């Protein structure tokens, strides 16, 4: 009988979001008439914009002609998309990224999960706590950790607590680490690292030859002008950081799938002889071996969000979701909850009332108010006693959810 990868057996429980769905299904089976409002997983609800729809239709029509048909595309993405990204997502903010440094993919979840493969098995890593579970679980699967302790923290990972006192910002690691995952705007706390904070990380990474894996999947939700959208807005970041971006939440692509990763030419790691190796060559090799790229119609759809019409449509979606975030934040604050985030991110992070733990609050909220959110403890030990509500909902449902919560339950 084939031996399985024992590392998978270290994973404490099911992945967070399927566990939430499981509990929700149990509840709705027992209460089929309950009108459950879902503000749990950050999944978009607004339909595709016209610019994206038209571009994708046109691409399909093109593929149905002898001249326009395309088979395998470049694994890293078509030039038209990589050029549009470089110009619009970076050039427009004064950041120089070459299209060749951009690798299109089928999602930031996959990218942030897969990136660890190109680093050595004995690389040490640090994560914020609370944290997007994918960063941790994929390193567990790869065997970079020991067993979890009772609080779910794995031996071999450096956890950087993000608490109310620290403004939910992680402190620099006290021990040497090779890789550090940072996420800003942060999932789940909704806070954003200002420039000085990122500059501190870049300086530390360069001094310690560490690499920052910077998840900026939510950067389009930043509303305050002074905040950085990219780690490359910080001098020196090209030598020490990889950035992840996504079309999922901005263009409504959670089902369509398109994202990208940026690996600057200057970014180097070391091989076992301590020789420097460009990280991009390994990622490129991996991509070409394991991936045949995003479909042509999807890449044309992604390109369309940079057209004048597409940009307007994306902005309208973002404004809609951020108006939801404001409603949630203000409604909960009025109802006496302590809230964080929700200003530059589509997530509101709240303190559970009356000392309830995160899952107790989840169960009470579901059974009594019929509202689904995400328990903070699902993101790590420091998330215990907190809860995340997503702003990705239909306005009327969000209003109704907040009304139910405010009434008390
Ligand atoms: C979340 O709710 O945290 C996100 O939707 C998860 C994801 O993007 O994979």
Q: Give the number of the atom of ligand 1 that is nearest the alpha carbon of residue 249.
A: 8
257 lines ligand 1 (CB under 6 A): no
Mean pLDDT of 191-215: 98
Alpha-carbon distance of 273 to 292, in angstroms, equals 32
Radius of gyration of the chain from its Cα atoms, rounded to whole angstroms: 21
CA dihedral 14, 20, 23, 28 (to 10 degrees): -140
- Minimum CA distance residue for ligand 1 atom 9: 109
406 lines ligand 1 (CB under 6 A): no
Q: How many residues does the chain have?
A: 409
pTM of the predicted model as reported, rounded to 2 decimal places: 0.96
Sheet holding 179-183, edge to edge: 102-105, 259-262, 241-246, 211-215, 179-183, 125-129, 157-161
Task: Provide the pLDDT confidence category of residue 151 given band limits of 50, 70 and 90.
Answer: confident
109 lines ligand 1 (CB under 6 A): yes
Alpha-carbon distance of 129 to 127, in angstroms, equals 6
The DSSP result for 61-127, as a single string, is HHHTSTTT---S--TT--HHHHHHHIIIIIGGGT----GGGEEEES-HHHHHHHGGGGS-TT--EEE
For the cut 80, the answer to whether the pLDDT of residue 12 exceeds it is no
In sign, the C-alpha dihedral spanning 270, 275, 279, 285 is: negative
41 lines ligand 1 (CB under 6 A): yes
Fold adopted by 53-307: 3.40.640
Alpha-carbon distance of 275 to 103, in angstroms, equals 25
185 lines ligand 1 (CB under 6 A): no
- Minimum CA distance residue for ligand 1 atom 5: 42
- Minimum CA distance residue for ligand 1 atom 4: 42
- Tokens representing residue 225 in the block: 């002008």
Mean pLDDT of 227-251: 97
User: For 351, what's the count of Cα atoms within 13 Å in the CB-facing half-sphere?
Assistant: 12
Q: Collect all residues with Cβ–Cβ distance below 8 Å to 98 and sequence separation of at least 6.
A: 86, 265
Residue 387 Cα to ligand 1 midpoint, Å, equals: 14
Task: Provide the pLDDT confidence category of residue 16 given band limits of 50, 70 and 90.
Answer: confident
Alpha-carbon distance of 113 to 107, in angstroms, equals 10
Give CA separation, 368 vs 11, 96, 407, in Å: 31, 51, 11
Give the model confidence (pLDDT) of 246-257 as tens digits. 999 999 999 999
Residue 248 Cα to ligand 1 midpoint, Å, equals: 10
Give the model confidence (pLDDT) of 335-382 as tens digits. 999 999 999 999 999 999 999 999 999 999 999 999 999 999 999 999
Task: Provide the pLDDT confidence category of residue 18 given band limits of 50, 70 and 90.
Answer: confident
Fold adopted by 10-47+309-406: 3.90.1150
Mutation to probe ligand 1, out of 18, 21, 43 (largest number of atoms < 8 A from CB): 43
What does DSSP assign to residue 153? P
Alpha-carbon distance of 280 to 268, in angstroms, equals 8
Residue 70 Cα to ligand 1 midpoint, Å, equals: 32
The pLDDT value given to residue 234: 98
Q: Collect all residues with Cβ–Cβ distance below 8 Å to 224 and sequence separation of at least 6.
A: 192, 343, 344
Give the model confidence (pLDDT) of 84-134 as tens digits. 999 999 999 999 999 999 999 999 999 999 999 999 999 999 999 999 999
Coil, strand or helix: which one is 135?
helix
373 lines ligand 1 (CB under 6 A): no
For the cut 80, the answer to whether the pLDDT of residue 13 exceeds it is no
297 lines ligand 1 (CB under 6 A): no
- Tokens representing residue 146 in the block: 């020991």
Residue 63 Cα to ligand 1 midpoint, Å, equals: 32
Location of each CATH 3.40.640.10 domain in the chain: 53-307
Task: Provide the pLDDT confidence category of residue 309 given band limits of 50, 70 and 90.
Answer: very high
Which phi and psi (to 5°) does residue 380 adopt? 135, 165
Residue 106 Cα to ligand 1 midpoint, Å, equals: 14
Average pLDDT over all residues of the chain:
96
Residue 344 Cα to ligand 1 midpoint, Å, equals: 16
């Amino acid at each position: 009988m084939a031996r399985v990868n024992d590392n998978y057996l270290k994973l404490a429980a099911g992945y967070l979001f399927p566990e939430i769905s499981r509990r929700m299904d149990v509840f709705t089976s027992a209460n089929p008439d309950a009108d459950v409002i879902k503000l749990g997983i950050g999944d978009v609800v607004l339909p595709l914009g016209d610019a994206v729809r038209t571009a994708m239709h046109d691409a399909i029509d093109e593929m149905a002609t002898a001249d326009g048909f395309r088979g395998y595309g470049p694994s890293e993405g078509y030039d038209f998309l990589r050029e549009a990204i470089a110009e619009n997502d970076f050039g427009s903010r004064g950041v120089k990224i070459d299209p060749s440094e951009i690798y299109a993919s089928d999602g930031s979840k996959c990218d942030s999960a897969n990136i660890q493969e190109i680093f050595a098995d004995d690389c040490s890593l640090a994560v914020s706590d609370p944290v997007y579970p994918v960063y941790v679980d994929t390193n567990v699967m790869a065997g970079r950790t020991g067993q979890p302790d009772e609080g779910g923290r794995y031996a071999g990972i450096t956890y950087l607590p993000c608490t109310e006192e620290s403004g939910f910002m992680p402190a620099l690691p006290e021990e040497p680490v090779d890789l550090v995952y940072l996420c800003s705007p942060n999932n789940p706390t909704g806070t954003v690292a200002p420039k000085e904070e990122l500059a501190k990380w870049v300086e530390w990474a360069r001094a310690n030859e560490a690499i920052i894996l910077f998840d900026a999947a939510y950067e389009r939700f930043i509303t305050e002008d002074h905040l950085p959208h990219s780690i490359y807005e910080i001098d020196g970041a090209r030598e020490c950081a990889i950035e992840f971006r996504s079309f999922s939440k901005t263009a409504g692509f959670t089902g369509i799938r398109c994202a990208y990763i940026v690996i600057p030419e200057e970014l180097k790691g070391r091989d076992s002889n301590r020789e420097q190796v460009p990280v991009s060559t390994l990622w490129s090799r991996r991509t070409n071996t394991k991936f045949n790229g995003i479909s042509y119609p999807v890449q044309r759809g992604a390109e369309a969000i940079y057209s004048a019409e597409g940009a307007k449509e994306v902005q309208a979606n973002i404004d809609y979701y951020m108006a939801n975030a404001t409603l949630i934040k203000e409604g909960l604050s009025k109802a006496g909850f302590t809230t964080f985030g929700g200003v530059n991110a589509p997530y509101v992070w709240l303190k559970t009332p009356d000392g309830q733990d995160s899952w107790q609050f989840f169960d009470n909220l579901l059974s009594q108010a019929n509202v689904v959110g995400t328990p903070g403890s699902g993101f790590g030990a420091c998330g215990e006693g907190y809860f995340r509500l997503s702003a990705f909902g239909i306005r009327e449902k969000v209003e109704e959810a907040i009304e139910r919560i405010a009434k008390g339950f």
